[in-house]
Structure 1
């Protein structure tokens, strides 16, 4: 599909066709600063606005819950040995959670050493499997093999995110967090400059047929406790590698205002994510 840039952005293109400085999306990603507008907290408030059916995103900035509000954009002071102990205590490995805590994250401009390190932790949902006209989702939605299989994401052509996380809390690592990757329309429009600034986490969430949108109508609650717990761990690990609290963001909010944007994650509870993050912080403090 051909993506059309606003005239104001096209005017900023130089004679070589390369963009000089431009802003993209409702939250105003700037290609010079390689960041959205505002402080890290203000960016998160814009990027975590509730996503509703058909890709509608709330106009009002999100109210950041306490644990996230005190962490985003701040130096990470969590003890690395204690976090490692928590990881191994759950029978997990760093490699199975996106890579070593000692390794840096990806950098912008496809890992250009002069570019900033990744700043954004992007929360997606898979919008699959789709149950079509089925009246109800399976009663065992959080444990069902039909819902939670990760095989389909394991081929190189389907590993379109860094992490795939199912409702049982199981993970498939498509790419280490040190690998620059793109998975939003905004990144596609900007090009290589933004490649490496965003980390992408796909959360398994089925859909049913909706009268207005074939892959609409997500379950309520949207995600499982195991997913929120594992997502909190991934977020803390990625932030530790960045040495600062990353800015969490919803896919739909990033792409809002761009053609052919997405509608995920549906029914995401910022409060449940924050509670899971608070439990994790308490366990490693």
Structure 2
């Protein structure tokens, strides 16, 4: 049975007590939005159009870029809330929460798959083409998207069937599970347990697998005596490792934070960065630190792809 708040919707407070800060955030969010659209679209185009980028690494990267583009579906609503009315309908909150949960889980799994790809590339280079064949890559990507959808199906309905308080004020920019649980006036024990279990499986387990992969990569790299091989191995993994660090640090700050007012305020900043900042930073990290992507961009512009990197 849907609770009494469902026909009216919710009020997304954000930083409404600091209007000046919200004006600054509007400019920051709008800039990040444009960077996300341009950067991730460019990576997808390069991965599709340039035959030299038809490899597992860039297949997964194009999946990540498409996922980041999907994240931009929240930003127009966020820009409206930062500048004007802060209301969101119950249906809008449901859709936002459902998609956000699905995409967040998918990114956790996808980053783990990319770590496995880097592990095979560095630790088992002679068997890389045999192990990371096209069908396996497609299956791994499909698993990431399906698990994200399944997680959202499990998590979203119980969250939006909570007995919400009459004021219906969400102390956040988005409809996220922790903020909605805090809005409830009834017993939230089941929802908190469900959030803890899901956080373990979609955050702790994937992050542990990523760390295991990089520990194995580190052991392999330490055995290498060639400086050129060292540089190649580090170049292969550094961009992905930066993305993993930025993504997981912000998500953990949102979903595994303690219950106190300071943590809630800090969580809003991290949640904003997680939803807006990481999708715009990902293409910058991969393009600025990746010579193959820069060469592909030059070829797309009709320039000599063999020119020396500046």
TM-score range, shorter chain: under 0.3
Structure with greater Cα Rg = 2
TM-score (norm 2): 0.25
Task: Answer 1 or 2: which has greater helix percent.
Answer: 2
TM-score (norm 1): 0.27
